[in-house]
Structure 1
Amino acid sequence: MAITNFIPEVWAAQLLAILDKNLVYAGSPCVNRDYEGEIAAYGDTVHIASISDVSIVDYTKDTDLTVETLTDADRTLLIDQAKAFAFEIDDIDLRQARSGGALMSEAARRAAFGLRDKADQFVHAKMIGGAGSALGVVDATTASNVYDTLIVPAKVELDEVNVPTEGRWLVIDPATHGKLLLDSRFVKVNESGTSEGLRNGIVGSAGGFTIMLSNNASQRNRTAITATTTSGNKTITAAAGTFSQADVGLSIAGTGVGASSNKVASVNADGSSIEVTTNSSASATVADVALSGGGRAAVAGSALGTSYAEQIAKVEAFRPEKRFADALKGLHLYGSKVVRPEALVVASVKVA
């Protein structure tokens, strides 16, 4: 197989196509790419400008209006994730394989899957960390509970903050999806006359949401978190990003934590601290904190909530100088930011 068979532009297009088909959290309809622009290098920043609301006032005839000066704010979406791959296949292996081209294509496909999975995990973490509303622990041990205690409450949360009904989505894990399949109110995609949606993780619709499936709806129970308590023994603080909005409602226990009935009441913006409902006997320093009682992190929302920007900067085919082999390497640059927290709702779903 000659190196001329590898055309970087073609491989880049193929890898991007695979990413587009398989991204869930970082794909349509979960995120917007309004600010993607031209991303040329690791560390580039997308500036997101927002304007203050315009005041609506009573009008009196023959009376001058007060002209309002609007304010704006600048938020930044930093392209701070850089992932790469590089692999080679020896000429002998290529020759002895039934189809050397198929071998390279399969390796490239696996590379694209790996890039996609990393990006999806990254965006998922952004969403559950920055969601504006948390439903707490949802008991989904029975089929009807998924609809009644997750789908309907999430819908109401979004309705109350005027998130448009068009384009709403809900991403759940396989176990929650399994429960939902037992509920007749859930309309499966295989009854809609097309299977196109399956390629993007879409598995049906319910309650005004497009239901999507992802294995990255990770388990939220965690152990061995070292932290301290402050603010009258009601706040437990750890490293930034340790906690997320999906932890609301989970039980918290550990050395120095205090009462075993503690529940996570709220999480601060950067995920470094949690408020607990009962913690009167907590020590100044706690260790081996454990969060339990929840399950998978379900996220509902609109593309208005999260911005995502990506680009595969380079895909290069080359011949390693000291090998008889064809090789391929690629670089994936991306970043994400929750720009409208109110357009995201998160819950910790207990499925067993």
Structure 2
Amino acid sequence: MALAAFTPTIWAARFLSFLDQANVYSIDTNRNYEGEIKAAGDTVKIPTFTKAITIGTYDEDAAIGNRIDAPEEVAGNSQEMAIDQFRYFNFAVDDVEETQTKPNLMDAAMSRAGVGVSTTVDGYLEGIYDKAFDNTYTEIPGANNNARGTNISARTVTIPVATTVDATGGAFGIKLLEALTVLKRKMSAADVPLSGRWLTVHPDTIEGLERWALTKGSTAVYTPSTTESVLTNGYAGNLLGFRLKVTSSVPSIEITAANDGWRLFAGQGNEAVTYGSQIAKVETYRPERSFSDAVKGLYVYGARNVLPTRLYAIEHKKA
């Protein structure tokens, strides 16, 4: 009993709806150039300004031709975002399933496909975000690696204790608050807007924060998420004006020779990283050696860290 109205367009839409339900990093990643993607292997050129616009003073008493200066020529170059990531799904549901059950099985399978691809994409985006803290990444300002390293250091705060804390002292929770206040100052000094700030956190981080909040916390400082407020994936509440996003997909780094740690990304808005994706093809077919309906699809995507200097980080020891 083959499934009727087996339309690829419908299943492609279902895949996209499931894809958007399981992500953390893509929430604060822009898709400004997604419309330019046509096929796997495309390269999208992203304009980048290299010269500031001069702000002058209008002289209303001067001669008409001298009240403002001649227009400046906009200077810039371009970065390239390669659409070089290719993922596929391919599954079938046998005809022996009951007619009323088969659509549900197809929907469940498409859900698994969407969540699986989304998890893969989020892991890929983690690496793109992490490039902002690689002093060999060419988009970080500075004529040499030492200058880039100084720039990275200015955007990073290290917590000197691990997330293993005692319930009464709450050492990690206190140190996390101290680190976040330093990060707020660094971002404000760089003219990063206050609204829309976010921080990715590891489950270990949340554990240390909640242990502190249980004994000495304040809702004015930390507001945990509630059932009603969990509207976006990974949302874990607000801390000192930062929207917290919890994920186990956090870079593992070496803090010292004896201690590994987590790197937690912080930022504002979605300007730092741009992402583009497209379902290149969704096809429905009848496998030759079975009595079943099958769906296969190709999903292509790519991303670029276009403004790494707008990304900050908190680093802390692992539990």
Q: 1:239-250 maps to which residues of 2 (within 5 A)?
A: 250=255
2:265 to 293, 296, 299: 299
2:228 matched to which residue of 1? 194
Counterpart contact for 1:137–1:294, Cα < 8 Å: no
Counterpart contact for 1:318–1:327, Cα < 8 Å: yes
Return the offset for 1:26. Answer: 1.4
Return the offset for 1:113. Answer: 0.9
2:84 matched to which residue of 1? 80
Return the offset for 1:117. Answer: 0.7
Q: 1:121-270 maps to which residues of 2 (within 5 A)?
A: 121-131=123-133, 133=152, 134-135=155-156, 137-138=158-159, 139-141=161-163, 142-149=172-179, 151-181=180-210, 182-183=212-213, 184=217, 185-190=221-226, 194-197=228-231, 199-221=232-254, 250-252=255-257
Question: 2-side partners of 1:6 and 1:23: how far apart?
Answer: 28
Tell me the percent identity.
31
Tell me the number of residue pairs that the alignment of Structure 1 and Structure 2 aligns: 277
Q: Which amino acid aligns with 1:11?
A: W
Question: 2-side partners of 1:73 and 1:37: how far apart?
Answer: 21
Q: Which amino acid aligns with 1:179?
A: G
C-alpha change, 1:6 and 1:165, in structure 2 (3 Å) is farther
C-alpha change, 1:147 and 1:102, in structure 2 (3 Å) is same
- Structure 1, residues 241-275: CA drift from partner, whole Å, max 9, x if none? xxxxxxxxx224xxxxxxxxxxxxxxxxxxxxxxx
Q: Which amino acid aligns with 2:12?
A: A
Return the offset for 1:70. Answer: 2.7
- Structure 1, residues 262-302: CA drift from partner, whole Å, max 9, x if none? xxxxxxxxxxxxxxxxxxxxxxxxxxxxxx52322211112
1:346 matched to which residue of 2? 313
Question: 2-side partners of 1:215 and 1:315: how far apart?
Answer: 30
C-alpha change, 1:317 and 1:3, in structure 2 (3 Å) is farther
- Normalising by structure 2, we get a TM-score of 0.78
C-alpha change, 1:59 and 1:102, in structure 2 (3 Å) is closer
Question: 2-side partners of 1:136 and 1:196: how far apart?
Answer: 28
- Structure 1, residues 9-58: CA drift from partner, whole Å, max 9, x if none? 2211122112222221012xx11111211422111122211332112357
Where is the helix percentage greater, Structure 1 or Structure 2? Answer: 2
Return the offset for 1:347. Answer: 3.1
**Residue 106 of structure 1 aligns to a residue in which SS?**
helix
**Residue 78 of structure 2 aligns to a residue in which SS?**
strand
**Residue 26 of structure 1 aligns to a residue in which SS?**
helix
Question: 2-side partners of 1:120 and 1:304: how far apart?
Answer: 17
**Unmatched 5+ residue regions in structure 2?**
134-139, 141-151, 164-171
1:325 matched to which residue of 2? 292
Question: 2-side partners of 1:17 and 1:126: how far apart?
Answer: 24
- Structure 1, residues 307-346: CA drift from partner, whole Å, max 9, x if none? 1111222222211122212211111111111111121012
**Residue 21 of structure 2 aligns to a residue in which SS?**
helix
1:107 matched to which residue of 2? 109
Structure 1 runs of 4+ aligned residues shifted over 6 Å read 58-61
**Residue 333 of structure 1 aligns to a residue in which SS?**
strand
**Residue 206 of structure 2 aligns to a residue in which SS?**
helix
Return the offset for 1:125. Answer: 0.6
Compute the RMSD of aligned alpha carbons: 2.5
Counterpart contact for 2:83–2:276, Cα < 8 Å: yes
Counterpart contact for 1:316–1:328, Cα < 8 Å: yes
- Normalising by structure 1, we get a TM-score of 0.71
Question: 1-side partners of 2:92 and 2:37: how far apart?
Answer: 28
Question: 1-side partners of 2:73 and 2:13: how far apart?
Answer: 46
Return the offset for 1:137. Answer: 3.6
- Structure 1, residues 110-165: CA drift from partner, whole Å, max 9, x if none? 1111100111011111101124644254235322222212x223222221221222
Question: 2-side partners of 1:91 and 1:26: how far apart?
Answer: 37
C-alpha change, 1:171 and 1:100, in structure 2 (3 Å) is same
Return the offset for 1:86. Answer: 0.9
**Unmatched 5+ residue regions in structure 1?**
222-249, 253-291
Question: 1-side partners of 2:310 and 2:112: how far apart?
Answer: 33
Counterpart contact for 1:128–1:346, Cα < 8 Å: no
C-alpha change, 1:57 and 1:110, in structure 2 (3 Å) is same
Question: 2-side partners of 1:220 and 1:18: how far apart?
Answer: 31
Return the offset for 1:90. Answer: 2.9
Counterpart contact for 1:158–1:342, Cα < 8 Å: no
2:283 matched to which residue of 1? 316
Question: 2-side partners of 1:341 and 1:156: how far apart?
Answer: 18
